[in-house]
Amino acid sequence: MDAWLLENLHADEPVVALWQNAPTIIVGQNQNTWAEVNLDYVKEQQLPVMRRVTGGGAVYHDLGNLCFTLILPVANSGSVDFSTFVKPVVKALHNMGIPAEATGRNDLVIEGKKISCNAQRYQNGYLIHHGTLLFDSDVDAMVHALNATEKRLDDAGIKNQIFKKISRIY
């Protein structure tokens, strides 16, 4: 969807889309799928693997995950940064009584545990920003479908450590 919008959008106004999809693995534009995804598990579970137009890490989507896409016409890629997009999301979560906060460049956390990751890209005069909100995702399936690496974890690079790094909003 995002790739199509970037190629075909001709709007002067921002575009906002909220969406969900069935269990799917989404890998970043420049990622090595073989390294990021547990291909045996994905094949066994018949999970589709898709590539998005933005960078960032591999993510697991399911119906417990609310995705959002924001597209703005902008003059250049430096005119809008991640905080422009994540601050309103944090504010909306706060209004719902959820103590989320932005951390790092592109994550949202509750009590230090990730509930959202975000990515963006500038193309054809538009900046696309999309993110995930883990409301009630199947974290067990996420852990099995994605290959965790020590580089991405503060603790030992084993899958059980992912549970210490990820939370759900509810």
DSSP result, 42-95: HHHHT--EEE-SS-S--EEE-TTEEEEEEEEE-SSGGG--HHHHHHHHHHHHHH
- Residue 21 belongs to some domain of the structure: yes
Residue 158, number of CB atoms within 10 A of its CB = 10
- Residue 120 belongs to some domain of the structure: yes
- Residue 12 belongs to some domain of the structure: yes
- Residue 55 belongs to some domain of the structure: yes
By the 8 A CB rule, do 73 and 125 touch?
yes
Per-residue model confidence (pLDDT) at position 63: 97
Per-residue model confidence (pLDDT) at position 149: 56
* Rounded mean pLDDT, 17-23: 94
Share of the chain above pLDDT 90, in %: 49
Dihedral angle, C-alpha 24, 42, 103, 160, nearest 10 °: 140
pTM of the full structure = 0.81
Exposure pattern of 34-62 as b/e (b: 16+ CB <10 Å)?
Answer: eebbbeebbeeeebebeebbbebebbbbb
Instruction: Examine the pLDDT at 154 and tell me if it is beyond 60.
Output: no
Which residues make beta-bridge pairs with 49?
A: 25
The model's confidence at residue 65, banded by pLDDT at 50, 70 and 90, is: very high
- Residue 77 belongs to some domain of the structure: yes
For the record, the structure tokens of 128 come out as 């696309």
Residue span of the structural domain in which 104 resides? 2-165
Per-residue model confidence (pLDDT) at position 36: 93
**What is the number of domains present in the chain?**
1
pLDDT tens digits for range 44-64: 999 999 999 898 889 999 999
Instruction: Examine the pLDDT at 163 and tell me if it is beyond 50.
Output: no
Cα–Cα distance between 27 and 57 in angstroms, integer? 6
- Residue 170 belongs to some domain of the structure: no
CATH number of the CATH domain containing 133:
3.30.930.10
Which residues make beta-bridge pairs with 42?
A: none
